[in-house]
Amino acid sequence: MAGLAVLAVMVASAALAGVILPYNPDTADLGAVLHGPSLAHPFGTDQLGRDILTRVVYGGRISLLIGVFAVALGAAIGVPLGICAGFYRGAPDALILRIVDVMLAFPGFLLALVLISLLGVGFTNVILSVGIASIPVYIRLVRGVTLSVREQTYVESARAAGLPDWIIMVRHVLPNTAAPIIVQSTLQLGTALLTAAGLGFLGLGVVPPTPEWGAMLGEAQTYLLTTWYMATFPGLAIFAAVMAFNLLGDGLRDALDPRMKVL
Amino acid sequence: MAGGFVGFAVRRVLAAIPTLFGVTLIVFFMVRMLPGDPARILAGELASQEEVNRIRAQLGLTKPVVVQYEIFIRNALRGNLGRSTVTQAPVAYEIETRLPQTAVLAATATVLAGVVGIVSGIVVSTRQYTPTDYLVTVLALAGVSIPVFWLGLMLMLVFAVGLHLVPAGGDAGPTSLILPSITLAAFSLAIIERMTRSSMLETLRQDYVRTARAKGLAERLVVYRHALRNALIPVVTVIGLQFGSLIGGAVLTETTFAWPGIGRLLVSAISSRDYPVIQGVVLLFAVTFLVINLVMDLLYGYIDPRIKYG
């Protein structure tokens, strides 16, 4: 519940940013450069005099959107492949598993780095890189569940009734893989946020001056010796969001699959 | 059992070959998938036409793709990964000079994560549902949720900028290693602690542990002699698997602390589109990760006599 509450606040403030905040996230104010936290600027201002609170809230919009789109992309490609691999087994399974093995040989963040180095920086390319890097996670998960679902009697009877494979997969297999997919997607949102923020921190994320939490930390690094607040608040936002997704994912897992409950 | 293990080991090694092939194919095609002339991309934008032609001839870029791949593999096996388009130094040299720094950082972080993770996991497993257990659980959740680069910046802010206890960055002696290794260890430490705790809790519920207790053995002996050895088997695998997160973490940690390792080399190569260096580092990381996973699989099969060599 705590995770859900934190996320609700973040989503609401990101959605209503234009209404609740008096500043523009991109407008420089050279008369207010690197001001510490005050009533006018609760999180202080950055090297261009922009309000950090405003940029953190708007940054939430970008970071959460990247996370959601990336995870949706990973699931949209990974789930059908996972179901096909588990349902058909044999040659399709072997081929898909080989591809998964190769993708997993590049640990998550490295795969996203390789992809961004090929695609170039930018909002869409960050989504593509982070999303593609999460495909093998879905394939493995869904394939495992499908392998057990395909042996169930309701699948056997659907086959005996002569239903085409794709209908069996969509009507009988997919709904039974939904619970683990929902849990995984929630946890994956946290991972996607961390990966995207990592790319932003390295200067390989969205293009400036778009506010994005990781990129804000990258900029803050230069001013770390003199300003503590520039690095503190965007990082706290990433930390809180990722922790909220992890808490929510753990809670959903306990609720949807009590056997997986951690002792 | 020995025969079973050898068969298992051979099958596992053979299964890794297609993956290794796939990894080399991806690295090989990385440059060829980019729009433009691969020879120009590998030579760098500022290279002369002669240099571009030399690279085209050297890599056989006018020959069929299969021949190009063969040349790529043959060169890679000889340690010839091309030249950096920025420094013009051989990629192998660029990697060699930074490898020890990354190895020291990764090894220190692994030892730190392993020791602290296992010890804290054991401690909380014997104190389930106590305030200590809840505190460590919250810390572990924080450990897997905190962005490594932000943790690094915060540690730097407190211990280097604020308290002047350690250097803020770079490699200026053993004290420079403290903050980067804590930063890099945090994620793995949390995972290892969670794994040790749940594995210990499961083991402590086994019949042989109940028997040991029924014999009247002291709790310490029950925990350390009977439960721990069995509980650590899955933990060993998890420690090995953490190498993947160490690679990603090293890239970010080295950049945060200006640590002169391979991770930082990769980031600067990506920023300057130095593709020979990107190819070399990615190939090294992926192959090392593959080999470590293979070794951990074999080790798991060896140390757990219950495993079925199917």
User: In which band, very low, low, confident or very high, does the pLDDT at B2 lie, cut at 50, 70 and 90?
Assistant: low
Cβ of A221: how many Cβ atoms within 10 Å? 19
Q: How far apart are CA A66 and CA A192, in angstroms?
A: 8
> Could you report the predicted ipTM of this complex, rounded to two decimals?
0.90
Task: Please tell me whether residue B164 adopts helix, strand or coil conformation.
Answer: coil
Q: Which amino acid is at A231?
A: A
Q: Which long-range contacts (CB under 8 A, 24 or more apart) does B97-103 make?
A: B98/B260, B98/B261, B98/B262, B98/B264, B98/B265, B99/B261, B99/B262, B101/B171, B101/B254, B101/B259, B101/B260, B101/B261, B101/B262, B102/B250, B102/B254, B102/B261, B102/B262, B102/B263
User: Exposed, middle or buried: residue B277 (CB in 10 Å: 0-12, 13-18, 19+)?
Assistant: buried
| Residue B306 pLDDT | 67
Tell me if A52 sits within 8 A of A46, measured CB to CB: yes
| Residue B220 pLDDT | 85
Tell me if A88 sits within 8 A of A152, measured CB to CB: no
pLDDT digits (tens, 9 = 90+) for B231-249: 888 888 788 778 878 888 9
User: In which band, very low, low, confident or very high, does the pLDDT at B305 lie, cut at 50, 70 and 90?
Assistant: low
Question: Is A254's Cβ below 8 Å from some Cβ in B?
Answer: no
pLDDT digits (tens, 9 = 90+) for A183-202: 999 999 999 999 999 999 99
| Residue A245 pLDDT | 95
Q: Which long-range contacts (CB under 8 A, 24 or more apart) does A161-170 make?
A: A165/A87, A165/A88, A168/A87, A169/A83, A169/A84, A169/A87
pLDDT digits (tens, 9 = 90+) for B134-159: 999 999 999 999 999 999 999 999 99
pLDDT digits (tens, 9 = 90+) for A147-171: 989 888 999 999 999 999 999 999 9
Which of A228, A243, A263 would you mutate first to test chain B, the one with the most B CBs within 10 A? Answer: A263
Nearest CA-CA partner of B82 in B104, B100, B61: B61
User: In which band, very low, low, confident or very high, does the pLDDT at B4 lie, cut at 50, 70 and 90?
Assistant: confident
Task: Please tell me whether residue A247 adopts helix, strand or coil conformation.
Answer: helix
User: In which band, very low, low, confident or very high, does the pLDDT at B272 lie, cut at 50, 70 and 90?
Assistant: confident
Output the average pLDDT for chain A: 91
Nearest CA-CA partner of A190 in A93, A92, A99, A63: A63
| Residue B248 pLDDT | 84
- Joined together, the tokens standing for residue A107 give 């640990």
A258 has a pLDDT exceeding 80 = no
Tell me if A221 sits within 8 A of B153, measured CB to CB: yes
Q: Do B22 and A246 touch (CB under 8 A)?
A: no
What's the pTM value of the predicted model, to 2 decimals? 0.90
| Residue A17 pLDDT | 87
- Joined together, the tokens standing for residue B45 give 């934008």
* Residue in this structure with the two tokens 């996973």, named with its chain if needed: B293
Tell me if B104 sits within 8 A of B173, measured CB to CB: no
Q: Do A113 and B266 touch (CB under 8 A)?
A: yes
B296 has a pLDDT exceeding 90 = no
A117 to chain B: closest CA residue: B270
Q: Where are the beta strands (DSSP E) in chain B?
A: none
Q: Do B252 and A109 touch (CB under 8 A)?
A: yes
User: In which band, very low, low, confident or very high, does the pLDDT at A87 lie, cut at 50, 70 and 90?
Assistant: very high
Q: Which amino acid is at A56?
A: V
A126 has a pLDDT exceeding 90 = yes
A12 has a pLDDT exceeding 80 = yes
Question: Is A116's Cβ below 8 Å from some Cβ in B?
Answer: yes
Q: How many degrees, rounded to 5, is the angle at CA B276 between CA B275 and CA B280? A: 115
Q: How far apart are CA B258 and CA A259, in angstroms?
A: 45
End-to-end Cα distance, chain B:
13
| Residue B174 pLDDT | 87
Of B34, B149, B197, the CB nearest to A198: B149
B246 to chain A: closest CA residue: A107
Give A174-210 as a DSSP string: HHHHHHHHHHHHHHHHHHHHHHHHHHHHTT-SSPTTS
pLDDT digits (tens, 9 = 90+) for A92-117: 999 999 999 899 888 878 999 989 98
Domains and CATH numbers, chain B: 2-77 (no CATH), 94-303 (1.10.3720.10)
B219 has a pLDDT exceeding 70 = yes
pLDDT digits (tens, 9 = 90+) for B172-213: 888 999 999 999 999 999 999 999 999 999 888 888 888 988
Q: Do B150 and A235 touch (CB under 8 A)?
A: yes
- Joined together, the tokens standing for residue B157 give 């802010």
User: In which band, very low, low, confident or very high, does the pLDDT at B168 lie, cut at 50, 70 and 90?
Assistant: confident
B30 has a pLDDT exceeding 90 = no
Output the average pLDDT for chain B: 88
Preceding peptide of A209 cis, ω within 30°: yes
Helices (H) and strands (E) in chain B, counts: 13, 0
Nearest CA-CA partner of B265 in B89, B109, B147: B89
Domain made up of A49-256: CATH architecture: Orthogonal Bundle (1.10)
B154 to chain A: closest CA residue: A232
User: In which band, very low, low, confident or very high, does the pLDDT at B74 lie, cut at 50, 70 and 90?
Assistant: very high
